[in-house]
Amino acid sequence: MRVGIGYDIHRFEEGRRLVLGGVEFPGEKGLAGHSDADALLHAVIDAVLGAAGMGDIGRHFPPSDRGYEGANSLSLAQAAAGMVGKAGFLVGNVDATVIAERPRLAEHLPEMGERIAGALGIEASRVNVKVTTNEGLGAIGHGEGIAAMAVVLLEVTG
């Protein structure tokens, strides 16, 4: 078994849509970024790639590549799962936390978990997504952006 940790943070930006865990939040200010800026999926992707010893999201889907501009992070997660699969690994489970003052995410966590699981090709019961606030502290606490952390367990298949 192999373990990977991922972290991502994005600031809010006017005129962008908010996507977290592959779920869109209409009416909410979006996050700045080259792709869809889905901080949760970016943390998961980094954890998946890290557990396999394959670098990080920037190495495989660099912001300098215009082909990834506005990219759907669910597609990037699916590609990352394919890469680690070819390297002889299977995602065992994902545990992730979103850190945000807003929007309120609790009711959307099951859907986020299902979408992440679908992209990774695993059962939804293997993905756990949680949310917490920063209790008003720092940039996240002041509502300037959203961060996410993820831990992934990979199982060796070959």
Q: How far apart are CA 82 and CA 142, in angstroms?
A: 37
- Statement: residue 32 has pLDDT above 80: yes
Give first-to-last CA distance, the chain, whole Å. Answer: 11
pLDDT at res. 84: 97
Task: Answer whether 0.75 is exceeded by the pTM.
Answer: yes
Q: Specify whether domain 2-156 bears CATH 3.40.50.970.
A: no
pLDDT band at 131 (very low <50, low <70, confident <90, very high): very high
- In the chain, which ranges are continuous DSSP H helix? 39-51, 57-60, 73-86, 109-120, 138-141
pLDDT at res. 3: 98
Name beta bridge partners: 95. 128, 151
Average pLDDT over residues 128-157: 96
pLDDT at res. 70: 79
The residues spanned by each domain of the chain are 2-156
Average pLDDT over residues 18-34: 95
Average pLDDT over residues 6-21: 97
Q: Quick one: 21 exposed, middle or buried, by C-beta within 10 A (0-12, 13-18, 19+)?
A: buried
> Phi and psi for 65 in degrees, rounded to 5?
-90, 110
Task: Identify the helix (H) or strand (E) that includes residue 128.
Answer: strand 127-132
Q: How far apart are CA 27 and CA 126, in angstroms?
A: 30
Angle at which helices 73-86 and 109-120 pack, to 10 degrees?
A: 40
What digits encode the pLDDT tens for the residues 64-119? 888 778 789 999 999 999 999 999 999 999 999 999 999 999 999 999 999 999 99
Mean pLDDT of the residues in the chain: 95
